[in-house]
Amino acid sequence: MSATPPGTARLRVESATIGYDKRIISEHLSVAIPDESFTVVVGPNACGKSTLLRSLSRLRKPSAGQVVLDGADINSYKTKEVARRVGLLPQTSIAPDGITVADLVARGRYPHQGFIRQWTGDDEQAVLRAMRQTSVADLSGRLVDELSGGQRQRVWVAMALAQHTDIMLLDEPTTFLDITHQIELMELFTDLHHAGHTLVAVLHDLNHAARYGTHLIAMKDGAVVAEGSPDEVVTAELVEEVFGLRCLVVPDPVAGSPQVVPLGRERTPRRSADKVDVESARNG
């Protein structure tokens, strides 16, 4: 759990109002990202979780309040300085035609480069390390267009890693991947977390959030409804409150983390062993 008191976290939002044009998404939003946590933001569609991530990465400036990075307003830094501390894996990125894996990963070095210093030994090492960590080193010379979806997403993660930031923001990193690749990627994030990175991810899958996250933030209608450890946040009551979904929360038989099982409409479970739990959940 977070050992960081909210007021001292390296990255936090302080009573910010965030929105697009005239549409306000969040008002007086305060969120602290515990240092060295794997924070996962969950919530229904359009609850403001991506917007929160965008303001944490300075892509969206709050119209009131501020985002604080290392004790100062994030907008008071030079853009490249922010980019050396906070990295982002955007929801949609575009690979230029005919780019190779190594070339794409190398583009992540931008904030560390200058007009005449474009490829130092540090750059080279950072790119190699990022590719090894994400197991795309073997694909190094391949064209990104030719890769599978899972491989491609790992390349994008490698690019964000090459940026060499302590804090990494991940906007729905597993969307559009099949289940194997989702798990692979989540485990990769766990490894990165263990290697000392602070991660903030927006995820749709509550079970992934509960299994891999160390700190969960549940949002609804632009406000934080609950935050804390997966055990504290993922409860049947909260899931119903946030998502409007009636469900049963059981321990994940493998990891022991809370797992959400939707009740749905089906009356009779196919296996009688589970019946007791479901019945009691419906009644209680």
Q: From the CB of 103, what's the least distance to another protein, in Å? A: 6
State yes or no: residue 166 binds another protein (CB under 8 A). Answer: no
Contact pick of 101, 161, 186, 218 for another protein (by CB under 8 A): 101
**Residues in region 102-121 near another protein by CB under 8 A:** 102-104, 106-108, 110-111, 113, 115-121
Binding mask 209-248 for another protein (x = CB under 8 A): ----------------------------------------
Quick check: 42 and 209 in contact, CB under 8 A?
Answer: yes
The string over 118-152, giving b where at least 16 C-beta atoms fall within 10 Å of a residue's C-beta and e elsewhere, is eeeeebeebbeebbebbebbebeeeebeebeebbb
At 148, the amino acid letter reads S
State yes or no: residue 97 binds another protein (CB under 8 A). Answer: yes
State yes or no: residue 80 binds another protein (CB under 8 A). Answer: yes
Backbone angles phi, psi at 201, to 5 degrees: -125, 140
Q: Which stretch binds another protein (CB under 8 A): 155-163, 215-223, 250-258, 260-268?
A: 155-163
Tally of CB atoms within 10 A around 282? 11
**What is the Cα–Cα distance from 249 to 278, expressed in whole angstroms?**
10
Helices 179-194/149-162 angle, 10° precision: 20
Q: From the CB of 166, what's the least distance to another protein, in Å? A: 14
DSSP label at residue 96: P
Contact residues toward another protein (CB under 8 A) are 54, 57-59, 78-84, 86-88, 90-104, 106-108, 110-111, 113, 115-121, 123-125, 127-128, 131, 140-143, 159-160, 163, 169, 171
